[in-house]
Structure 1
Amino acid sequence: MSERPALTHIGASGEAHMVDVGGKAETVRTAIAEGFVAMQAETLEMILVGNAKKGDVLGTARIAGIMAAKKTHELIPLCHPLLLTKVSVDIEPDHALPGLKVTAMARVTGKTGVEMEALTAASVACLTIYDMAKAVDRAMTISGIRLMEKSGGKSGDYKAQV
């Protein structure tokens, strides 16, 4: 059994600190995360045809996810503020669920990864979908928020098992 890597944000005495990335090389780093919002088929149809009382659910969720990625360092303790070069949030219907699949991508040329930015974007986009449709379907569930892949940096590439 291989040893687990040490936690980088916690010192030997348990004190929290922001990791010093000053000596790391700048590389292009990309991360993709996903999440799902399950809902009643009627709720999905209402969103897809654009009849939600609060407005454009999909467009608003995309913008919310992008904004969240840009503010990740303000939301998650010890995250570095990053000069993101690209953030995208794609939302597609999954009629088998029924519901919506959210895929968020974050990219940076920098000294630290963007996994948290992609995960935050996916999470907030899912929360926004819930918020905008909760008046008609409070039983919606958000699930499956996870890192799908990442590239760049010292730790190399990662791709989730499907």
Structure 2
Amino acid sequence: MSGDGKLTHISEDGEAHMVDVGGKNDAERVAIAEGYVKMSPQTLATIIAGDAKKGDVIGVARLAGIMAAKKTSDLIPLCHPLMLSKVSVDITEVPDLPGLRVEALAKLTGKTGVEMEALTAASVACLTIYDMAKAVDKAMEITGVKLLSKSGGKSGDWQRGKGGK
């Protein structure tokens, strides 16, 4: 959305188009997103112990998230292809859920933000966890995928919970 409340990817005629970012200045941009995979305590124990039949669930999910961030423009039609300078995916145990928390960071110096790359990384990492453990627990639930923060660019910094709901 632009500063005047209009959607930036929709023309006056209601047609979707890719936003021209050519006139924007390069800026360092960082976005962080998260997601959760709820599962049975037994499934969580199996993953943490490294006993899943498909292998290292956390390691593969981390790589899948990184790869997904790099392919975001192939998946989301109006996203620009970006030269990411950093993508990280951290996956941590949340015993009280029970399940796993995925946090993805995307970073670059460029003309457009990296929110979609961070969200795609978190989403695909969660999907990969589900895929690798579904033989044990088909009732797993992917939940809470959301942007936590973004910095850089014309719209400035934003953080969930600090004016960002």
* TM-score, with structure 1 as normaliser: 0.97
* SS of residue paired to 2:93: strand
* SS of residue paired to 2:29: strand
Q: Over the residues paired in the alignment, what is the CA RMSD in angstroms?
A: 1.1
Q: Match of 2:120? A: 120
Separation of aligned partners in 2, 1:154 and 1:4: 14
Please show how residues 9-88 of structure 1 align to structure 2 within 5 Å. 9-88=9-88
Separation of aligned partners in 1, 2:118 and 2:78: 16
Please list every run of 5 or more consecutive structure 2 residues that lacks an aligned counterpart in the other structure: none
User: How far off its partner does 1:4 sit?
Assistant: 6.3
Q: Match of 1:149? A: 149
Separation of aligned partners in 2, 1:130 and 1:18: 32
User: How far off its partner does 1:88 sit?
Assistant: 0.1
Separation of aligned partners in 2, 1:41 and 1:104: 24
Separation of aligned partners in 1, 2:46 and 2:16: 46
* SS of residue paired to 1:105: strand
Amino acid of the structure 1 residue aligned with 2:16: A
Separation of aligned partners in 1, 2:135 and 2:4: 45
Separation of aligned partners in 1, 2:61 and 2:120: 12
* SS of residue paired to 2:117: helix
Please show how residues 101-140 of structure 1 align to structure 2 within 5 Å. 101-140=101-140
Separation of aligned partners in 2, 1:16 and 1:137: 40
Moved over 3 A (4+): none
User: How far off its partner does 1:5 sit?
Assistant: 1.4
Deviations 1:33-67 (A, max 9, x none): 00000000000000000000000000000000000
Aligned length: 160
Percent identity between matched residues is 68
Separation of aligned partners in 1, 2:86 and 2:6: 30
Q: Match of 1:158? A: 158
* SS of residue paired to 2:65: helix
Please show how residues 87-106 of structure 1 align to structure 2 within 5 Å. 87-106=87-106
Change (3 A) 1:10 1:27: same
Separation of aligned partners in 2, 1:101 and 1:87: 17
Separation of aligned partners in 2, 1:53 and 1:140: 16
Amino acid of the structure 1 residue aligned with 2:148: M
* SS of residue paired to 1:28: strand
Please list every run of 5 or more consecutive structure 1 residues that lacks an aligned counterpart in the other structure: none
